[in-house]
A and B are shown apart, each in its own frame.
Chain A
Amino acid sequence: MQDLGIQVLFRGTNFLRLWQGLWVSLQIAAISMLFSVILGIFLGMIMTGKNRIVRLLCRIYLETVRIMPQLVLLFLVYFGTAKHFGLDLSSEVSAVIVFTFWGTAEMGDLVRSAFLSIPSHQYESGYALGLQKWQVFFHIMIPQTVRRLLPSSVNLLSRMIKTTSLVVLIGVVEVVKVGKQIIDAARYDVPTSALWVYGTIFFMYFLICFPFSIASSYLEKRLKD
């Protein structure tokens, strides 16, 4: 029992600290996701518009976000703003900005494809019934888009939760960092703790992400009827 790495989890406040770390990750992901959904819907609507220049700009934004590693974005926002504009953003705020920037682009693209996937007879029928443009939009387009969006946006959310482990590089102590600290503090007396600590983190991520996917499949079924 002495050599079992799992004992480090029960030392001091270690286990509690892991959960606090996960809470930090979750908060950053949830706030960013909220902004991403709101901004992403607008972006998606703009992207389906007819103006070529606007569409080109959107395209460039999307490609930039996809090509640029999030790590570089984090550094640019956290350190860059401090150096060039003298703006001392906290690391959490910087993380939310970067993840929103990234999430909005991804979400916008999802919304765009969801809009485009709605068959044209749907809104043409709406117009034929004498509905206004905004009525078609709110009563026909939005409900159908939301249903199509659910699986992919939940997927985006869980990706976001997992990607938050990068924020440690700008000083946010989240769950993976807490894990490293615990392993390192015990590196001389319990060298085998790594597997146990990372294993625990794995289950914690699972516990958080699994309910989201359950909820989305439930909602998807309900919205179908």
Chain B
Amino acid sequence: MRKKILGTIVSAVLLTGILTGCQAAADSSQTAQVETEEVTEEVTEEVTEEVTEEVAQEEAATGGIARSIEEIKNDGSIKIGVFSDKNPFGYVDENGVPQGYDVYFAKRIAKDLLGSEEAVEFVYVEAASRVEYLLSAKVDIILANFTVTEERSQQVDFALPYMKVALGVVSPEGALITDPEQLKDKTLIIVKGTTAETFFTENYPEVEQLKFDEYQEAYDALLDGRGDAFSTDNTEVLAWAIQNKGFAVGIESIGSLDSIAPAVQKGNTELLNWINDEIKALAGEQFFHANYDATLKSVYGDSINPDNLVVEGGVIE
């Protein structure tokens, strides 16, 4: 009898485990189609992200309370979440010091809010836990290459954008593709699950697609000549083309424009307004162009127009 009861309970627990597991899998396959922007993420990380974002959603109902500007000032340091492995936006150099486009902006925020570039405590976040850090008020601001999406806007408040990302198309210089019409009846290399896949399938169905799971495979295929061009986020292809002689980005910006913005906890309007005012004020000195020159130029070189990436004053043309 005892064994029976125990058996029933254990199998019930197991069954719920399996059911929730399937549920999670079904959910993540749905969101995977929507969630196309984390293109530099590896597949495994994307899976973790789905899982953790689900956890985040379940817990989104309540929240820890974010610090007010006065509390931050009293504390003397602002907590900003940045990436530590997303060169050139947020990374750690060989001496263990945070660097990059996001970090440069974070230091400026600290300087203008608290009077010193050093008054910032960098918290290294993962793509998967960015929302959680804000919901639980473990950081004041997230500045981690955070793409504005509908889904995320329901959980956090985005400030004005300071960068934009679109698709880019890289191809051999000898047969440079400068217009998507040229791709007709040619082979375009795509990484599965990226924005590029959705965009070309919807808008240029006549383009033949050669799909890969990983970035490295896609780049190898382009090098081998298995395709005529490769498309993914422009930040990615632009950097790659600089490193690989004989290839150039013929189309620097195509498809829907995604904006990248700082985020604060939902409802933290005081800090949100402060950041928005800051971004508007910084336009006067072309701060983000200076930031580009300091952090991104060495990666993208002179060949591209900074205006394709940088947003000044929060205005996207």
Contacts and interface: CB of A to CB of B under 8 A. Distances in A.
Given A71-B52, A86-B64, A171-B124, A63 B13 contact: yes
B239 A12 contact: no
Nearest to B84: A181
Contacts of B91: 181, 184-185
A52 B2 contact: yes
Contacts of B2: 52
A59 B6 contact: yes
Given A82-B64, A82-B137, A12 B93 contact: yes
A159 interface: no
Given A60-B9, A75-B55, A185-B94, A67 B62 contact: no
A188 B243 contact: yes
Given A82-B136, A86-B64, A181-B91, A60 B13 contact: yes
Contacts of B126: 168-169
Size range of the chain A interface in the assembly: 35 or more
Given A12-B94, A67-B17, A185-B92, A75 B85 contact: no
Given A60-B9, A79-B138, A171-B125, A84 B62 contact: yes
Contacts of B59: 79-80, 83
B72 to A, nearest CB: 15
B14 A187 contact: no
Contacts of B96: 12-13, 17
A19 to B, nearest CB: 12
A173 B6 contact: no
A11 interface: yes
A14 B97 CA distance: 11
A72 B129 CA distance: 12
B51 to A, nearest CB: 7
With a 10 A CB-CB cut-off, give which of A63, A79, A88, A186 has the most chain B CB atoms: A79
Interface of B: 2, 6, 9-10, 13-14, 17, 48, 51-52, 55, 59, 62-65, 84-88, 91-96, 123-126, 128-129, 132-133, 135-138, 239, 243, 299
Given A52-B2, A177-B85, A181-B84, 16 more contacts: A12-B94, A13-B96, A60-B13, A63-B10, A75-B55, A82-B138, A83-B64, A169-B128, A171-B133, A183-B85, A184-B85, A185-B92, A185-B93, A186-B94, A188-B87, A191-B243
